[in-house]
Structure 1
Amino acid sequence: MTTLIRGGTVIDADNTYRADVLCADPQDGGTILQIGVDLEPPAGAAIVDAGGQYVMPGGIDPHTHMELPFMGTTASDDFYTGTAAGLSGGTTCIIDFVIPSPKQSLMEAFRTWRGWAEKASADYGFHVAVTWWDDSVYRDMGTLVHEHGVSSFKHFMAYKNAIMADDEVLVNSFSRSLELGALPTVHAENGELVFQLQRQLLAKGFTGPEAHPLSRPPEVEGEAANRAIRIAQVLGVPVYIVHVSAKDAVDAISRARSEGLRVFGEVLPGHLVIDEAVYRDPDWTRAAAHVMSPPFRSAEHREALWRGLQAGQLHTTATDHCVFCASQKAMGREDFTRIPNGCGGVEDRMAVLWHHGVNSGRLTPNEFVRITSTNAAQIFNLYPRKGAIRVGADADIVVWDPNASRTISVKTHHQKVDFNVFEGMTVQGVAMHTLTRGALAWTDGDLRAVRGAGQYQNRPPNPAYFDAIRVSNKLKEPHPVER
């Protein structure tokens, strides 16, 4: 059905104006057909009244882990429930992570994740992790880029004896990424330091969740972020640092960008608003529910993250959505290193950022659109079909009521998990309607997500970044010696 969004104020990353938006039927492409004042609806069109509300590009969450097998269990949100929860909060597209086991073929893992994702209710793409290296990984990276539109690769610098990529893997994979025009992304924590600190804490009798942040101090993140950036600098490749949580990592990114390096930073809403004191909650289950990596930090680090967003040194907001129920977290009751790492947020990201960012004056509405949608679309080559309100773009749209409020609670959320890290938080700014490629998937509290309606997003390499970098690298080559 064709849908007319009437009477709203369109907010893009760089513009704000009053307009109606006409969206094609999903069966006819689900794109934006027309933008203008006082548009006439076609016969039989659905009308969405957006009076007094904002019409914005649907959110893009560039960092999720739906139904991820991890630490002896599997994340409880699958690709259907997780994307449906996202739609209820205004997120219309995710980029999830394929994580091969050590020595597993990248293509084999990719095919597995593609099968799981067929039930997604919103559009999705993939990053693929490089967890080991040989000639087959080199070949598979090329196949993924050229035949499957995967143009970003993930590297875990943490999780020793599991999926950690050492410097040799980083150098090989970063170099191959440059050849392919693909973007390396990095989970920046020094895995060896984390491993040794965990052993020391356990030896001293610290077995509970309170030991988790002690084993992953800010310096561990700052060192790894700086190392990844400098490896990328030497090789002449851009790099994207996921879930930045510490001032140390923000400073490393800011320094690099001031030197002209192409470095991008991502931040999670939880790291912006949740204090590290949650790990000292006397209720073990509540404390363990907050165990994720990197951990939540103190006020000094949270303020540095806000400043990084405001200054443009951090570019995207994601969730690292990877949820485990209390019974799964209990696997680590006697040993904090066995608590499955992960928290939720795909449903609440946009509301938390609006409330604490826009309502506080830290962000403008246009900046909100930039960090929740447009920047991710541009960095990961989904733009302009996503991340913008423009004719011809996918009709992935959220109609946002800045005056409405709700209280976040596990009792009412749509995520398939029995805890919410934002439990009890009242936020002003709510997704009233969400369209995914023209289909109303969420409307005034009614979730209409359709299992399997999501489409895989092919993301070829983005020449906008790599052409300039290749020119720069060529200019740095030594001149031949005159004889």
Structure 2
Amino acid sequence: MYLLIKGGTVVTATGAFPADVLVEGEKIAGLFSPDSTPPVEGAQVVDASGKYVIPGAVDVHTHMQLPFGGTSASDTFETGTRAAAFGGTTTIIDFAVQRAGERVPDGLAAWHAKADGNCHIDYGFHMIIGGVDDESLKAMDSLVDSEGVTSFKLFMAYPGVFYSDDGQILRAMQKARDNGSMIMMHAENGIAIDVLIGQALTRGETDPINHGLTRPAELEAEATRRAISLAQVAGDTPLYIVHLSASQALEAVAAARDTGRNVFAETCPQYLYLTLEDQLGAPGFEGAKWVCSTPLRSKHEPHQRDLWRGLRTNDLAVVSTDHCPFCFKE
């Protein structure tokens, strides 16, 4: 079956231009200048005059049905991918989870069970390694060889939940170097953050804005620099910094990329548009709607300006969502 999208402005990685798009089944069969489109018998024709025609988006960072903090993310694979399709996203890459004491293959199987038959769009998986040990390191090889999983996420944050220390991170990076995979890093100094959180709780500072104040940009930058250094020690293992929000962290990524290092980073729409003061600092408990980690940054500092510039200069390689919604009552 053919679909012909006529009269629109096609947007590609190299620019925007008038073109007609011919689709055969699920594949782009051709792009034609409007005055040279061949007749296609039986094609369904869509008039895109005055509209942009863009490729389906790939959201490389989502968390459907993620258990966390005693509850679970409110979107299932069915509801989340249905919403994604309506928004023009045609592929997601979600995160299967292994916690300390669990087997990596069991974690991947659990996420396959959640997604199988329930998705409206294409999907794949990264693998969260929450317990780096000999068994999980061996499992990284089998996932690369047999399961099509080539990216593994580690956490410098959340001690007692997903946290890996520097030694564990180095071992995982060495394994990724050897099997050709990539390490994704939640780069925040979780040990220091927990100290700041404890001190804030002692002072009775529990308003949502304190979520951001106890996770300062300097601790994101420190962890980012440390992750880059560990990746270099491991043999320049490919490193992907997730949900980068701070100017100082971006400086570390840009410096590494300028020297040809195998370092990449993403940011997310919330860091490009929302702020510590206007969202997390909303009156009462309203700011809890805007809690995320890394946190929203202050509008009085140049974070948003620098992130937008990083996208223009390719110091930031990706925009993803980190889609992980929770109901306000939770």
The TM-score, its normalising length taken from structure 1, stands at 0.65
Deviations 1:112-165 (A, max 9, x none): 101111211111111101111222112211111111111111011101111111
Q: Distance in 2 between matches of 1:194 and 1:253?
A: 21
2:127 matches 1:128: yes
Q: Distance in 1 between matches of 2:30 and 2:168?
A: 48
Secondary structure at 1:321 match in 2: coil
Q: What letter is aligned with 1:244?
A: L
Q: What displacement does 1:65 show? A: 0.3
Q: Distance in 2 between matches of 1:180 and 1:50?
A: 45
Deviations 1:215-246 (A, max 9, x none): 10001100000000000111121211010000
TM alignment of 1:50-449, pairs within 5 A = 50-118=48-116, 119-236=118-235, 237-277=237-277, 278-284=279-285, 286-299=286-299, 300-328=302-330
Secondary structure at 1:320 match in 2: coil
Q: What displacement does 1:298 show? A: 1.6
27, 30, 33: which is aligned to 1:31? 27
Q: Distance in 2 between matches of 1:45 and 1:241?
A: 44
Secondary structure at 2:54 match in 1: strand
Deviations 1:363-393 (A, max 9, x none): xxxxxxxxxxxxxxxxxxxxxxxxxxxxxxx
TM alignment of 1:32-51, pairs within 5 A = 32-37=28-33, 38-40=36-38, 42-51=40-49
Q: Distance in 2 between matches of 1:275 and 1:178?
A: 37
Q: Distance in 2 between matches of 1:311 and 1:32?
A: 29
Q: Is the 8 A contact 2:133 2:168 kept in 1?
A: no
Q: What displacement does 1:302 show? A: 1.1
Q: Is the 8 A contact 1:190 1:223 kept in 2?
A: yes
Q: Is the 8 A contact 1:96 1:126 kept in 2?
A: yes
Q: Distance in 2 between matches of 1:41 and 1:128?
A: 46
1:430 is matched with none
Q: Is the 8 A contact 2:20 2:31 kept in 1?
A: yes
4+ residue runs of structure 1 moved beyond 6 angstroms?
none
Q: What displacement does 1:34 show? A: 2.4
Q: Distance in 2 between matches of 1:247 and 1:125?
A: 30
Identity %: 42
Q: What displacement does 1:323 show? A: 0.3
Deviations 1:67-91 (A, max 9, x none): 1111110100111111111111111
Q: Which has the higher contact order (CA 8 A, sep 6+)?
A: 1
Secondary structure at 1:326 match in 2: coil
Secondary structure at 2:37 match in 1: coil
Q: Is the 8 A contact 1:254 1:313 kept in 2?
A: yes
Deviations 1:414-438 (A, max 9, x none): xxxxxxxxxxxxxxxxxxxxxxxxx
Q: What letter is aligned with 1:31?
A: K
Q: What displacement does 1:35 show? A: 2.2
Q: Distance in 2 between matches of 1:281 and 1:14?
A: 40
Secondary structure at 1:256 match in 2: helix
The count of corresponding residues between Structure 1 and Structure 2 is 323
Q: What displacement does 1:15 show? A: 4.0
Output the aligned Cα RMSD.
1.3
Unaligned runs of 5+ in 2: none
Q: What displacement does 1:18 show? A: 2.4
Q: What displacement does 1:171 show? A: 0.6
Q: Distance in 1 between matches of 2:68 and 2:42?
A: 48
1:470 is matched with none
Q: What letter is aligned with 1:270?
A: Q
Q: What displacement does 1:280 show? A: 2.0
Secondary structure at 2:185 match in 1: strand
Q: Distance in 1 between matches of 2:10 and 2:165?
A: 46
Q: What letter is aligned with 1:290?
A: W
Secondary structure at 2:329 match in 1: helix
1:453 is matched with none
Q: What letter is aligned with 1:9?
A: T
2:48 matches 1:11: no
Secondary structure at 2:49 match in 1: coil
Q: Distance in 2 between matches of 1:133 and 1:187?
A: 15
Secondary structure at 2:271 match in 1: helix
Unaligned runs of 5+ in 1: 329-483
Q: Distance in 2 between matches of 1:109 and 1:48?
A: 43
The 1:209/1:15 distance shift into structure 2, 3 A limit, reads closer
Q: What letter is aligned with 1:225?
A: T
Secondary structure at 2:81 match in 1: helix
Q: What displacement does 1:44 show? A: 3.5
Q: What letter is aligned with 2:199?
A: Q
Q: Is the 8 A contact 1:4 1:41 kept in 2?
A: no
